[in-house]
A = this chain, B = another copy of it.
Amino acid sequence: MKNEINIGLLGFGVVGSGVAKILENHQEDLRHKLGVPVEIKKVLVKDQHKKRDTALSSDIFTTDLNEILEDPSIDLIVEVIGGTCEAKEAIESSLRAGKGVVTANKDVMAEYGPGLLQLADDNKCDLFYEASVGGGIPLIRTLEDGLASDRISALTGIVNGTTNFILTKMKHDKMSYEDALAEATELGFAEADPSADVDGIDAARKMVILASLAFSTEVLLEDVFVRGLKEIRDGDLELAEQFGYTVKLAGSAKKNSDGIEVAVEPVLFPNSHPLASVNNEFNAVYVYGDAVGETMFYGPGAGSLPTATSVTGDIVAACRNLLMGVNGKRPHAPQYERKVKSDETKLARYFHRIRVRDEIGVLTKLTAIYSSQGASLATVIQHSDKTETDADLIFITHQISRKQHLNIVAELNQTPEVIGLLSHYRVEGE
Footprint of B on A, CB under 8 Å? 18, 22-23, 25-26, 29-30, 32-33, 35, 130, 136-138, 141-142, 145-151, 216, 274, 277, 284, 289-300, 303, 305-306, 308-310, 312-313, 315-317, 320, 324-326, 329-331, 335
What are some 10 contacts across the A-B interface (CB < 8 A)?
Answer: A18-B291, A29-B151, A29-B216, A138-B145, A138-B147, A148-B312, A149-B312, A277-B277, A292-B305, A295-B298
A308 CA to B147 CA in the complex, in Å? 11
**Chain B nearest CB, measured from A275 CB (Å):** 11
A313 CA to B293 CA in the complex, in Å? 14
**Chain B nearest CB, measured from A104 CB (Å):** 13
**Chain B nearest CB, measured from A244 CB (Å):** 15
**Chain B nearest CB, measured from A216 CB (Å):** 7
- In the complex, what residues of B have CB within 8 A of residue A148's CB? 33, 312-313, 316-317
**Chain B nearest CB, measured from A273 CB (Å):** 10
> How many copies of the polypeptide does the oligomer hold?
2
**Chain B nearest CB, measured from A116 CB (Å):** 20
Partner of A291, one of B22, B146, B147, B216: B22
- A293-B300, A298-B295 given; A141·B145 CB < 8 A: yes
Is there contact, CB below 8 Å, between A309 and B329?
Answer: no
Is there contact, CB below 8 Å, between B316 and A145?
Answer: yes
Is there contact, CB below 8 Å, between A309 and B142?
Answer: no
Is there contact, CB below 8 Å, between A313 and B216?
Answer: no
Is there contact, CB below 8 Å, between B296 and A292?
Answer: no
- In the complex, what residues of B have CB within 8 A of residue A32's CB? 216, 335
Shortest Cβ distance from A293 into B: residue: B300
A332 CA to B313 CA in the complex, in Å? 18
Is there contact, CB below 8 Å, between A138 and B149?
Answer: no
Is there contact, CB below 8 Å, between B292 and A26?
Answer: no
A131 CA to B386 CA in the complex, in Å? 57
Is there contact, CB below 8 Å, between B309 and A291?
Answer: yes
Is there contact, CB below 8 Å, between A320 and B330?
Answer: yes
A150 CA to B294 CA in the complex, in Å? 27
**Chain B nearest CB, measured from A305 CB (Å):** 4
Is there contact, CB below 8 Å, between B137 and A295?
Answer: yes
Is there contact, CB below 8 Å, between A294 and B289?
Answer: no
Other 15 A-B pairs with CB < 8 A, given A295-B300, A325-B326 = A26-B149, A26-B151, A29-B335, A32-B216, A136-B295, A137-B295, A138-B145, A141-B141, A146-B313, A149-B313, A150-B309, A277-B277, A292-B310, A293-B306, A296-B299
